[in-house]
């Protein structure tokens, strides 16, 4: 019977003298010289008696090559075992992280509090006014490296456990199939279309709600100028919107300081506190702050610093109230935020939590590449203002100017914090003559572009 090698180890034939075999075999293969012959064959000796023909074959060159292979196999296994030990240790550490995150995540859900998902692997919940928020990790390079959504185990955690907690707020992004679930597209209307009429507009907030609902929109973004008597009656306004079938997308406010006057910072922050408190009555509503504007003489660089300070501190106020805050740059007269360099400069000064409401019309009026600007700062995008402008810089009805509607919506839909709201804001001469008809026409344009979706 012939020897059968298994995993490189020679097996003694059944007919062999096993005592002689043991005497000839190396005692410690892992420490033996792979080039050394068995003791019985040293110095040209002969195989032990009783081995016969099988013994002759076993102790030939084939057997020594097998000893060499066995030695290499054991060394490889030893190295693999060391690597595996390191992997196992790492896995144990990661499993500990996951277990801790699961515990904290479940605890937040059981307390029925909101969780704004950030990037840190460590789910550091900071409860403020009954709201749990997840830390955003090291956000020093947030806009470049996108650490907010370059998550480690958080997508797995939310995908596996988030669905089991319906108490979590919708702002807790749920992950499916290894990636973030894209929000459903929803269409809202901004009330500036009526506000720009000035004294020609004699209606009130109820008229705005009625016109926007009749126009087929799902949401409304209203300003501090147009909220009227509802300013101190958030509950009443919520009931009015509910009756009309509308959602408050965002509450927008500006300031006569242009958010650039140091002496007015306290006033601006008090306004932010007031309107964040108002928006907190509406599920998912945001606060949008108007464009920084030059209101007095002084170094332009200093005005960027003041505006950034106001935006950053207002965002902290919003977080304490459970409301996200975003900046809305514009191309209007004396704006501080006109071209791409201005956008880059202000965003470099803002905390990662400060959002952005890009306005397609203002970006184009500033001579910017719409696609490049949206891509460069996509991590800040929360929702978008869709507006059109012609080659001369004049406002145009949606679809009649330079704005590539399909590309713009495709770009913002890829933003990791985009909440799904497309807000139409119309400032053309057509809107000035009949704002209600203009916003209805814009929604039809969206439908023609096959963007409005099943609910449009």
Q: What is the pLDDT of residues 300-311, one digit of tens each?
A: 999 999 999 999
Alpha-helical runs (H) found in 168-281: 192-195, 205-214, 234-244, 265-279
pLDDT classification of 449: cutoffs 50, 70, 90: confident
Q: How far apart are CA 450 and CA 456, in angstroms?
A: 10
pLDDT (0 to 100) of residue 450: 58
Q: Of 165 and 242, which is predicted with more confidence?
A: 242
Among 37-46, 152-161, 171-180, 299-308, name the most confident range.
299-308
- Position 173 scores a pLDDT of 39
Instruction: Find where tokens 């945001």 sit.
Output: 286
Kindly state the helix (H) or strand (E) to which residue 371 belongs, with its residue range: helix 370-376
CATH level 3 topology of 186-448: TIM Barrel (3.20.20)
Measured CA distances, 225 to 95, 212, 290, 323 (Å): 53, 17, 12, 20
Q: What is the mean pLDDT of residues 139-147?
A: 35
Domain with CATH 3.20.20.150 in the chain: 186-448
Judged by phi (left if over 0) then psi (alpha if -120 to 50, else beta), residue 77 lies in: alpha
Residue 311, SS3?
Answer: helix
DSSP bridge partners of 190 = 221
Task: Grade residue 52 by pLDDT with cuts at 50, 70 and 90.
Answer: very low
pLDDT, tens digit, for every residue of 185-231? 999 999 999 999 999 999 999 999 999 999 999 999 999 999 999 99
Number of other residues whose CB lies within 10 A of the CB of residue 427: 23
The tokens 């929360």 sit on which residue? 382
Range name among 6-10, 93-97, 105-109, 413-417 with the lowest pLDDT average: 6-10
Most confident listed range (74-83, 114-123, 162-171, 186-195):
186-195
Work out whether strand 421-424 and strand 384-386 pair parallel, antiparallel, or are unpaired: parallel
Token reading at 277: 């408190």
For Cα atoms 453, 454, 456, give the angle at the middle one, nearest 5 degrees.
70
Which alpha helices (H) appear in 27-185, and where do they start and end?
Answer: 52-58, 61-110, 142-145, 154-161
- On whether the CB atoms of residues 329 and 362 are closer than 8 A, the answer is yes
Q: Is the pLDDT of residue 270 over 80?
A: yes
């Amino acid at each position: 019977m012939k020897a059968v090698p298994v995993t490189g180890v020679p097996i003694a034939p059944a007919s062999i003298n096993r005592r002689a075999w043991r005497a000839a075999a190396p005692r410690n293969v892992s420490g033996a010289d792979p080039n050394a012959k068995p003791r019985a064959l040293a110095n040209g000796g002969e195989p032990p008696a009783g081995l016969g023909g099988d013994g002759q074959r076993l102790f030939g060159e084939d057997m020594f090559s097998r000893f060499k292979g066995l030695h290499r196999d054991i060394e490889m296994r030893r190295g693999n075992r060391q690597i595996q030990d390191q992997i196992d240790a790492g896995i144990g550490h990661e499993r500990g992280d996951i277990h801790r995150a699961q515990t904290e995540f479940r605890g937040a859900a059981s307390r029925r509090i909101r969780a704004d998902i950030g990037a840190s692997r460590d789910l550091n919940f900071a409860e403020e006014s009954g709201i749990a928020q997840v830390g955003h990790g090291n956000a020093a390079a947030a806009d470049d490296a996108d650490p907010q959504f370059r998550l480690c185990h958080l997508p797995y955690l939310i995908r596996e456990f988030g669905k089991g907690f319906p108490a979590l707020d919708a702002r807790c992004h749920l992950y499916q199939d290894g990636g973030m679930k894209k929000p459903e597209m929803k269409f809202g209307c901004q009330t500036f279309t009526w506000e720009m009429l000035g004294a020609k507009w004699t209606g009130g907030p109820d008229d705005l709600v009625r016109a926007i609902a009749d126009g087929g929109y799902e949401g409304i973004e209203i300003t501090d100028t147009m909220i009227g008597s509802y300013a101190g009656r958030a509950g009443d306004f919520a009931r009015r919107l509910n009756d009309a079938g509308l959602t408050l997308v965002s509450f927008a406010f500006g300031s006569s300081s242009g958010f650039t006057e140091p002496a007015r910072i306290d006033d601006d922050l008090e306004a932010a506190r007031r309107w964040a408190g108002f928006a907190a009555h509406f599920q998912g509503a945001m606060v949008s702050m108007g464009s920084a504007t030059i209101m007095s003489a002084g170094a332009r660089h200093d005005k960027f610093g003041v505006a950034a300070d106001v935006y950053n501190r207002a965002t902290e106020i919003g977080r304490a109230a459970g409301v996200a805050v975003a900046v809305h740059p514009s191309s209007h007269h004396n704006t501080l935020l006109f071209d791409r360099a201005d956008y880059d400069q202000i965003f470099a000064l803002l905390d990662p939590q400060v959002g952005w409401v890009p306005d397609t019309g203002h970006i184009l009026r500033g001579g910017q590449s719409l696609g490049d600007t949206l891509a460069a700062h996509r991590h800040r995008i929360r929702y978008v203002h869709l507006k059109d402008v012609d080659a001369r810089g004049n406002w145009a009805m949606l679809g009649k100017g330079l704005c590539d509607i399909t590309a713009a919506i495709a770009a913002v839909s890829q933003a990791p914090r985009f909440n799904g709201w497309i807000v139409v804001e119309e400032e053309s001469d057509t809107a000035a003559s009949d704002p209600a008809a203009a916003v209805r026409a814009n929604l039809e344009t969206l439908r023609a572009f096959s963007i409005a979706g099943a609910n449009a």
